[in-house]
Structure 1
């Protein structure tokens, strides 16, 4: 059994700050935990916009607090986000994530992240060499 607290993960190398200053991600469950997915608590900062395009990962996101919106780039549709909203990027959707207030999000990634990933210039996480081999 694995037991971790958000507080201990926040005070460790599991907390990653974005290079753009628009979010942080506390990676509570990672690839080396051998669960087949990773689990993160992500904070989207207020009054920010983050372009994201997870070309190598599928993600499911549940909003626990705060408000914002997600806009899909392909069709320009805008979806409001508030506590209780779940959005699922099941087609590697390129999108813009906007935080109107600080949002706390619970995120699941498949394949799992190894832990140190940040967005590349296209808004994606690169696959680690061992993810490609799996």
Structure 2
């Protein structure tokens, strides 16, 4: 059994930060669950272009308000607590935290190793745990 707290993970290298967001990686590839699980905060007033070419992701909104726009067709979806969006086709999208920080619970497949940040295309590189 694996047991860890969000507060402990925030104090470790499982917390990864960027200009527009921070992500606490609660489960990673090394945990051997077949997916990774993150608590991610998108900072108020930011827009982040994302295109997970190497991963599928499910995103559940815990708190905050914002919107996600699919780049291909320009559709905009409002996000509020209780909303889930699923990037089942490696959808290129823009994520906006409008009036407050957005806090998400995110699941990635394949799992992240832990230190990934978005590359120039908005993707996480496909890394494999060296362990």
In the other structure, the counterpart of 1:33 is 31
CA deviations 1:3-44 (Å, max 9, x no partner) are 0000000011100001xx100000000001000000000000
Gaps of 5+ in 1: none
Pairing 1:60-99 to 2, within 5 Å after superposition: 60-99=58-97
Is the counterpart of residue 23 in structure 1 residue 11 in structure 2?
Answer: no
- C-alpha RMSD of the superposition: 1.1
**Number of aligned residues:** 129
* Aligned equivalents of 1:33, 1:127: Cα separation in 2: 17
Over 4 Å off, 4+ runs:
none
Gaps of 5+ in 2: none
Is the counterpart of residue 5 in structure 1 residue 1 in structure 2?
Answer: no
CA deviations 1:51-109 (Å, max 9, x no partner) are 00000000000000000000000000000000000000000000000001101100000
In the other structure, the counterpart of 2:114 is 115
Taking a change above 3 Å as real, the CA distance of residues 40 and 115 of structure 1, as seen in their structure-2 partners, is: same
TM value normalised by structure 1: 0.94
